[in-house]
Chains A and B, each alone.
Chain A
């Protein structure tokens, strides 16, 4: 399938705005996780602004597609996407991590419109998606379930229970997207606990796998389209990404996993991001 230049451009702008809002939010909270929010931004833009069948005016619409963010710490990206998509005012992003806010430090499904599953402790999201996909199958629903995971999730045991189960049960209505930014709190993932080989692992558990550049909007759209069309096994998309993508001093720097930028750094980051779409 060919995607129009207009659409690709629109999604690039959206992912750029998600990045800008993520940086602002974390600066305002003086805490949060920029690295993973920036690496997932292009995937979130494709899903929220083109792929997902959702209605921000009716967040609990029964037939909506579900997207679960298992890497809950990267919720600035999620909150930014939801706000820009119209689930709540963009100004509310300033309340992130502050007392009395709907925007908790890690996503709370009961507080934030559009958040499908509470998240934070890594390794749970895919199992949550498995439950939703099963529930959908049992009740003959038509929606599709997507789960976004990171290396931390991939290292947790529960994820493998879910991968084994979904492969065995042929949950074709479930897609897992792996935001593979090769960076975790203590450093590069391949130095801490290497997750490779990724494709072979997934295939061994009876999934179909596609590897893409997680910052190439066209490739993301093609992969998401492919993932939905399975008639048997669940499908996984390995999206190779760069932690801190779009902000020069954050890219591939593990130290920006969970650190807030100061005023100067924030200004520079926003400047760089604005220039990228000017």
Chain B
């Protein structure tokens, strides 16, 4: 689970960075910050259910030389405390890390009020913000470490549920540099977060039908790694973006903007299609809202069928 990995990483990082402070808004049990709180009680502050005060205090803390990690659900940080993040943290470029979990519809049972499907779009449109969406537990530690080392605001977005391990332990990650998981074929699957695993599964099944894919993990949504996208997209017939987020303004938006300005290509954006979803088992939600492997394959095949008919 990414949240578990985050909690474990914090204890390690607390040792390395003596100026790291962890802020919670009554859901430390959910964010898994308890271990840090036990190890470094002086550097853990619980703000109660008061996200605006937590984020604005984070701005204040940052001016004293500390590095605050403000932890809460993605809906609350990105929306309840949006002004504090935009005007009071990003505008003066303060060194605050916003740690957001429960991103996307994979939150499932809690329903749309707790499923953040706009947060990446909102954070992307704020200058000075860096956005990181790790794909699995292995990616969390190296990326959170680089986020802490970066002098400036970061929005670090994770999901709620356990996700399959994508990367072996020795993998290297560079903030701002997309990670090519596999190359080849004429289809490029550009994914982030939990959808990286979906992209890998999709590629496996398409390969069995003779359609090879390139799979790229865009763990840093901003700054967006245009170079890797454009170099990989050059020889492709179809680009597919995959994210657990509205197809407006997130990874799909970044891919569309980059391609249409530099290298127009056919693009399918997989994600939440500008709707509020509902409560339920995340697996079933992905099926119903056509974000699962089966539906993605259908759309990919549909594109090639239409293209072949035209020719």
Residues in A lying within 8 Å of B, measured CB to CB: 108-110, 116-118, 120-121, 123-124, 127-136, 138-139, 141, 157-158, 161-162, 164-165
Contact partners of B66 in chain A: CB under 8 A:
135, 138-139
Contact partners of B117 in chain A: CB under 8 A:
none
Contact, CB under 8 Å: A116 / B87: no
Contact partners of A133 in chain B: CB under 8 A:
60
Contact partners of B84 in chain A: CB under 8 A:
124, 127, 158
Docked Cα-Cα span, A130 to B60, in Å, equals 7
Closest 4 CB pairs of A and B: A131-B60, A135-B64, A127-B56, A131-B57
Docked Cα-Cα span, A120 to B88, in Å, equals 9
- Quote the shortest CB–CB distance from A159 to chain B (angstroms): 9
Is there a chain A Cβ closer than 8 Å to B83's Cβ? yes
Contact, CB under 8 Å: B61 / A135: yes
Residues 58-113 (chain B) with a chain A CB within 8 angstroms: 58-66, 68, 83-84, 87-88, 91-93
Contact partners of B88 in chain A: CB under 8 A:
117-118, 121, 124, 128
**Residue on A with the closest CB to B45?**
A134
Contact, CB under 8 Å: A157 / B52: yes
Docked Cα-Cα span, A124 to B55, in Å, equals 10
Contact partners of B63 in chain A: CB under 8 A:
109, 116-117, 131-132, 135
Docked Cα-Cα span, A208 to B208, in Å, equals 72
Docked Cα-Cα span, A138 to B44, in Å, equals 10
Contact, CB under 8 Å: A136 / B91: no
**Residue on A with the closest CB to B58?**
A131
Contact, CB under 8 Å: A161 / B50: yes
Contacting A141 at CB < 8 Å: which of B42, B48, B57, B64?
Answer: B64
Contacting A110 at CB < 8 Å: which of B61, B83, B92?
Answer: B92
**Residue on B with the closest CB to A138?**
B42
Q: Which of B52, B53, B64, B88 has the most CB of A within 10 A?
A: B53
Docked Cα-Cα span, A131 to B91, in Å, equals 17
Chain A binding site: helix, strand, loop or mixed by DSSP? Answer: helix
Residues in B lying within 8 Å of A, measured CB to CB: 21, 42-43, 45, 47-48, 50, 52-53, 56-66, 68, 83-84, 87-88, 91-93
Q: A121-B87, A131-B58 are in contact. Are A136 and B64 (CB under 8 A)?
A: yes
**Residue on A with the closest CB to B56?**
A127
Contact partners of B83 in chain A: CB under 8 A:
121, 124
Docked Cα-Cα span, A226 to B170, in Å, equals 58
Contacting A129 at CB < 8 Å: which of B47, B48, B52, B60?
Answer: B60
Docked Cα-Cα span, A165 to B93, in Å, equals 25
Docked Cα-Cα span, A161 to B57, in Å, equals 11
Contact, CB under 8 Å: A132 / B60: yes
Contacting B53 at CB < 8 Å: which of A121, A135, A162?
Answer: A162
Contact partners of A138 in chain B: CB under 8 A:
21, 42-43, 66
Known interface pairs A127-B60, A165-B48; 15 further A-B residue pairs with C-beta atoms within 8 A, sorted by A's residue number:
A110-B92, A117-B63, A121-B87, A121-B88, A124-B56, A124-B84, A127-B53, A127-B57, A128-B56, A128-B59, A128-B88, A135-B21, A141-B64, A164-B48, A165-B57
**Residue on A with the closest CB to B48?**
A165
Docked Cα-Cα span, A127 to B60, in Å, equals 8
Docked Cα-Cα span, A178 to B67, in Å, equals 30
Contact partners of B48 in chain A: CB under 8 A:
164-165
Contact partners of B60 in chain A: CB under 8 A:
117, 127-135
- Quote the shortest CB–CB distance from A277 to chain B (angstroms): 36
- Quote the shortest CB–CB distance from A106 to chain B (angstroms): 9
- Quote the shortest CB–CB distance from A255 to chain B (angstroms): 27
- Quote the shortest CB–CB distance from B235 to chain A (angstroms): 44
Contacting B57 at CB < 8 Å: which of A108, A128, A139?
Answer: A128
Contact, CB under 8 Å: B93 / A134: no
Contacting B52 at CB < 8 Å: which of A108, A127, A136, A139?
Answer: A127
Docked Cα-Cα span, A133 to B1, in Å, equals 35
Contact, CB under 8 Å: B50 / A164: yes
Contact partners of B64 in chain A: CB under 8 A:
131-132, 135-136, 139, 141
Contact partners of B58 in chain A: CB under 8 A:
131
Contact partners of B56 in chain A: CB under 8 A:
124, 127-128, 130-131, 158, 162
Contact partners of B61 in chain A: CB under 8 A:
131-132, 134-135
Docked Cα-Cα span, A138 to B19, in Å, equals 10
Contact, CB under 8 Å: A118 / B52: no
Contact, CB under 8 Å: B92 / A108: yes
- Quote the shortest CB–CB distance from B67 to chain A (angstroms): 11
Contact partners of A134 in chain B: CB under 8 A:
45, 57, 60-61
- Quote the shortest CB–CB distance from A160 to chain B (angstroms): 9
Contact partners of B53 in chain A: CB under 8 A:
127, 130, 158, 161-162, 165
Contact partners of A157 in chain B: CB under 8 A:
52
Docked Cα-Cα span, A121 to B61, in Å, equals 19
**Residue on B with the closest CB to A118?**
B92
**18 intermolecular pairs with C-beta atoms under 8 Å apart:** A108-B92, A110-B93, A117-B88, A118-B87, A127-B84, A128-B59, A130-B57, A131-B64, A134-B57, A138-B42, A138-B43, A139-B65, A139-B66, A161-B47, A161-B53, A162-B53, A164-B50, A165-B57
Docked Cα-Cα span, A136 to B21, in Å, equals 13
Docked Cα-Cα span, A165 to B23, in Å, equals 13
- Quote the shortest CB–CB distance from B36 to chain A (angstroms): 14
Q: Which of A133, A136, A158 has the most CB of B within 10 A?
A: A158
Docked Cα-Cα span, A164 to B64, in Å, equals 22
Docked Cα-Cα span, A237 to B111, in Å, equals 45
